Amino acid sequence: DVKVTQSSRYLVKRTGEKVFLECVQDMDHENMFWYRQDPGLGLRLIYFSYDVKMKEKGDIPEGYSVSREKKERFSLILESASTNQTSMYLCASRHGVRFNSPLHFGNGTRLTVT
């Protein structure tokens, strides 16, 4: 089975801190994604990467950046955390050859910014 591992389940940070959320997948997937999940808003795409060192903005990239230096790892960076970035963050990966390959998700990181 594909395993997508997010480094932290819960994280509490202060406003203005730089925050790193890490995600690792073990199935050599080309595509990786970062979503945030908020009540009433569902999942919203922040950034995605279709291969190593490649990254594209999703629907809500403001306040975030990403890094994909190795195929298995996709990092989400909050340059200066703000309270409106308190959310559940979900990482996902997908085999890149076919558009209809399913996504495989990590268990999420619940980030609280105080």
Residue tagged 């730089």 (tokens)? 18
| DSSP 8-class letter at 84 | G
Distance of CA 7 to the CA centre of its chain: 11
Task: Compute CA distances 4 → 27, 32, 53, whole Å.
Answer: 9, 10, 19
Query: Quick check: 4 binds another protein (CB under 8 A)?
Result: yes
Binding segment for another protein among 13-21, 33-41, 60-68, 76-84 (CB under 8 A)? 33-41
- Restricted to residues 38-97, the positions that interact with another protein (CB under 8 A) are 40-43, 45, 48, 50, 56, 58-59, 90, 92
Task: Give the binding site for another protein (CB under 8 A).
Answer: 4, 31, 33, 40-43, 45, 48, 50, 56, 58-59, 90, 92, 99-100, 102-108
